[in-house]
Amino acid sequence: MRNLFAQAALSQIPKILTLLDRNPHSPTYGCFDRNFWHYKIIDFPSGMAQEFVLPLALAYDTDVPDNAFYRQPVIRQWVEAGILYAAHSSHGDGSCDDYFPFERAGGAAAFSLLACLDSYQLLGINNNYALQFLVKRANWLASHHESGRLTNHQALIVLCLEILSKLLNTSQWDTAKAQRLERILDWQSSEGWFQEYEGCDPGYHTLTISCLARIYQLRQEKAEDRRQRAEGREQKAEGKEQVFKLEGNDNCLSELDIKIKEALIKAVELAAHFLHPDGSYGGEYSSRNTYNFFPHGFELVGRWLPEALEISDRFLAGLAQGLAPCYADDHIIGHHTWNYLLAWRDFVPNRPPISPRPTGRIWLKEAQILIDRRQNLELYLALNKGGVFKLFRQQQLVASDTQFSLTVQTGGKVKNAVGHLIDNYAIEVGDDEILIQGQLGWAKQQQMTPIKLIILRLTMLTVGRFFPNLIRKLLQKMLITGKNKAPFDFQRRLCWENDQLVVRDQLTSQSWSNVKNAGIGGDQTSIYVVMSRTFQVGQLQPWLDLTEQVQQLVPGESLQLERYL
């Protein structure tokens, strides 16, 4: 099972190499943004793309059968070229852009810095220019504060500073690390999840676990080194030998380390709830609509909390059945590739048996997610998204529902009214019946046009370059957090009846004449999230077309729909 991680990751390496400019005589040698260096259809390279050095470095170092990239000298050269291009293409302060010029994107800077740091150390690179760049980017990240609550970015930054502090044997970022760690802990809900924009996203949650687990490991290694040196001095003074072992000894942990460990335990316990019975994970009922699963943190935590390994094993069972989503596009192919290879590297050989599936109800009131397991059914329901749900019967997905969706003619435009946007809906939760009521909202369907791109470029080349965080905040509101109500009222009632889930939907409007199409999809989302809208085989469920029923309605009449699942 361990090799499944390596096989899935190594299958992505040829594409990553295709994205790379591998010509040593090219001015963009080492650039992974093929749209920039090859197609020439954008006017700046994405700094996030340089994260792809880490999958290559790990492929170089992963000794598994049929790994054609293992110990190939040219791979090492390309990794170093990628690090140097990250340095060459960054701004003078060490920051980089991702979506538009002078953006100075914190996430892209953190992901690519982590990749460059790990690759630099793993391959034993010795390049002073590259090292100066790593320090410069770390300094920028240490003082940069982006808009929006993205806990995974905070954890990535702390991890970068921790790794570089160890590499340089310096304490210069200790204050920044401590402040951000406190922020991460403060952003963790009492239910165990970490804030991601408007709530709980189980996918990005596993990335935060991965980063925190490494941070915890590095802090323990550093503490053990200090203690061993102190013990060595005492032994030398006393003329006797002693053995010191930190792992598992909570009495040796600092107060902050204890908090990190407790946060990890709560986070891992929460993550276990979102592994579906077929081995898939997460989905559209979460705040950011992702199917992400980053396994490395569970392997690290599993060294001292065996329950974490059971989560990883359940995911591996789904991976073996082809249930992992596809991340093989030009922008997001890197994240899971390097995380899978790290999970392979740090795989814990002795693993507990997988326990039976739990039963009963889990209601995460802060996250507004309800999980109900009874008989052979498992329901995963987002109360704050209008009742978006996934339902499994006998370990198989039988229904994925992302609420009503209408196309509506308004003036000269066709707009999309949906019921899956996060909002404060009226809810009633009973033992066998759940009621959710509210209004549809207008989906975010902004597209770039030549005029919009010109305006954005002019803004960023002039005044915007001095206020990139303000531009980012405005775009977040436009594409993610801002909401506008649509003139349609819905009611969703879910009832348990005779070992079945019955879903009764009602949709009301004062006018139906402008509604062109209506239906319910299984994987529809309407906010911009980089890692969402990936394909997963559970999305092969057909669209439920309700257009004919809607076109027969008169003003004030309700659409009624009843389904037995």
pLDDT tens-digit readout, 336-347: 999 999 999 999
Six token digits for residue 230: 């102190």
Residue 431: how many other CB atoms lie within 10 Å: 8
Report whether pLDDT(241) > 60.
no
Model confidence pLDDT, tens digit, residues 125-176? 999 999 999 999 999 999 999 877 899 999 999 999 999 999 999 999 999 9
454-489 burial by CB neighbour count: b if 16+ within 10 A, else e? eebbebbeeebeeebeebbeebbeeebeeeeebebb
- CA 206 vs. chain centroid, Å, equals 7
Identity of the amino acid at 27: P
Please give the model's pTM, rounded to 2 decimal places. Answer: 0.94
> What are the backbone angles phi and psi of residue 240, rounded to the nearest 5°?
-140, 165
pLDDT at 446: 80
Helix (H, G, I), strand (E, B) or coil at 127: coil
* pLDDT tens, residue by residue, 31-68: 999 999 999 999 999 999 999 999 999 999 999 999 99
| pLDDT band with cut points at 50, 70 and 90 for residue 489 | very high
Average pLDDT, the chain: 93
Q: Tell me what pLDDT residue 242 has.
A: 43
Q: Which helix (H) or strand (E) holds 121?
A: helix 106-122
Confidence band of 225 (pLDDT split at 50, 70, 90)? confident
For residue 244, pLDDT over 90 is answered with no
Distance separating alpha carbons of residues 30 and 36, to the nearest angstrom: 12
| pLDDT score of 396 | 96
CA distance 366 to 189: 8
Domain boundaries in the chain?
A: 1-147, 148-324, 368-444+484-564, 451-481
**Res 67: pLDDT:** 97
Q: Is 242 exposed, middle or buried (0-12, 13-18, 19+ CB in 10 A)?
A: exposed
| CB distance 559 to 550 below 8 Å | yes
Tell me which residue of 76, 81, 91, 92 sits closest to 31, measured CA to CA. Answer: 81
CB 301 within 8 A of CB 268: yes
Residue 425 has phi, psi (to 5 degrees) of: -80, 155
Q: Is the pLDDT of residue 376 over 50?
A: yes
Query: Cα–Cα distance between 511 and 456 in angstroms, integer?
Result: 38
Query: Can you say whether the dihedral through the CA atoms of 211, 217, 221, 222 is positive or negative?
Result: positive
> What's 344-367 look like in SS3?
HHCCCCCCCCCCCCCCEEEEECCC
The share of the chain scoring above pLDDT 90, in percent, equals 83
160 Cβ contact partners less than 8 Å away, ≥ 6 residues apart:
110, 113, 114, 117, 138, 141
Can you tell me which residue has the tokens 């209008």? 386
pLDDT at residue 405 is higher than 70: yes
Q: How confident is the model at residue 253 (pLDDT cuts 50, 70, 90)?
A: confident
The region of weakest confidence among 31-45, 56-70, 469-483, 545-559 is 469-483
Question: Percent of the chain, pLDDT > 70?
Answer: 96
User: Is the confidence at residue 260, as pLDDT, over 50?
Assistant: yes
Beta carbons of 386 and 420 less than 8 angstroms apart: yes
Contacts of residue 217, defined as CB under 8 A and 6 or more positions apart, other chains included, come to 300
Longest dimension (CA), the chain: 94
DSSP state of 542: P
Q: What angle do CA 203, 209, 213 make, to 5 degrees?
A: 155
Rounded to the nearest 10 degrees, the angle between the axes of helix 468-476 and helix 450-461 is: 150
Helices then strands, counting H and E runs in the chain, come out as 17, 16
In sequence order, the 6+-apart residues with CB closer than 8 A to the CB of 7 are 64
Distance separating alpha carbons of residues 61 and 55, to the nearest angstrom: 10
The Cα–Cα gap between 89 and 96 comes to: 7
The predicted-structure confidence for 412-441, as pLDDT tens digits, reads as follows 899 999 999 999 999 999 999 999 999 999
**Predicted pLDDT of residue 243:** 40
What's the chain's Rg over C-alpha atoms? Answer: 25
User: What is the DSSP-derived secondary structure letter of residue 505?
Assistant: E
Q: Any idea which architecture 148-324 has in CATH?
A: Alpha/alpha barrel (1.50)
User: 152 and 230 in contact (C-beta within 8 Å)?
Assistant: no
Structure confidence at residue 444 as a pLDDT band (50, 70, 90):
confident
Which of 190-199, 295-304, 478-487 shows the lowest mean pLDDT across its residues?
478-487
Is 203 in contact with 291 (CB distance < 8 Å)? yes
